[in-house]
Amino acid sequence: MLELLIWKPVPEDSGLYSCVCADQRTSATVKINALPVTFKQKLRSVAVEEGGTAALRCELSKPVPFVEWRRRGNEVLTHGEKYHLRQRDVLMELRIFEVTPEDSDIYTCICGDIESTATLTVNILPVTFRQKLRNVQVEEGQSVSLSCELSKAGVSVQWRLAGDLLQSGEKFQMKQREACVELTIREAEPEDSGVYSCVCREQKTKATVKVIAVPATFRMSLKGVEAEEGSSDSSLRAVQERRPGAVAERR
């Protein structure tokens, strides 16, 4: 009795097999029917903190040439900096790096006519101030800057003075670079003194700005003059350095 065993047959093993002895031969056809691919382990929904890496994994019943990953059912994902597509034998994996709230969505792994779907939820981290505002004191006429740093970039802030919302313009200039925000008060006046606050969502940092008034001074002193009686060109002149609103008296 002669026997040929084919271990773990695959469709590629189908064909005509022969047993040959001297000038004798006997043949038979073997046909291996392919089993349909199924998901042994489907995708599972995951929740990841903002800025982290999300991993979606599934396992097939047998190796396949490739699978397709989609987002929202119609957006085909490709391997790159944002998405890392990995396939090891029957294990499939999708990694999403530096996730943002916008990455929250439904993701699907498609293999032929079967698919597995899961939901990614990105938990938004609360914004905090890494560096808070500091109190500032300047002389009248100078520009003053208030700056602070947030825990993450790309979030909007509001600047307020004693609760009133400030708008960017000639007087107040607002800048934002990455996570750093800055308010500049140009040509500060005593009336600009007060408590300024930077508000981001439910977080707030505040500081006091004190503008010291500069006293009026004379750049040129009065000089004595001689003139004939009745002359109209005799005058006393002095140039005064003073802030708006200061009044010079004649005595």
Domains of the chain: 39-123 (2.60.40.10), 129-212 (2.60.40.10)
pLDDT band at 163 (very low <50, low <70, confident <90, very high): confident
> Is residue 54 pLDDT above 50, yes or no?
yes
Calculate the average pLDDT of the chain.
88
pLDDT band at 192 (very low <50, low <70, confident <90, very high): very high
The least confident of 12-26, 220-234, 237-251 is 237-251
pLDDT tens sequence across 106-139:
999 999 999 999 999 999 888 899 999 999 999 9
- HEC states along the chain? CCCCCCCCCCHHHCEEEEEEECCEEEEEEECCCCCCCCEEECCCCEEEECCCCEEEEEEECCCCCCCEEEECCCEECCCCCCEEEEEECCEEEEEECCCCHHHCEEEEEEECCEEEEEEEEEECCCCCEEECCCCEEEECCCCEEEEEEECCCCCCCEEEECCEECCCCCCEEEEEECCEEEEEECCCCHHHCEEEEEEECCEEEEEEEEEECCCCEECCCCCCCCCCCCCCCCCCCCCEECCCCCCCCCC
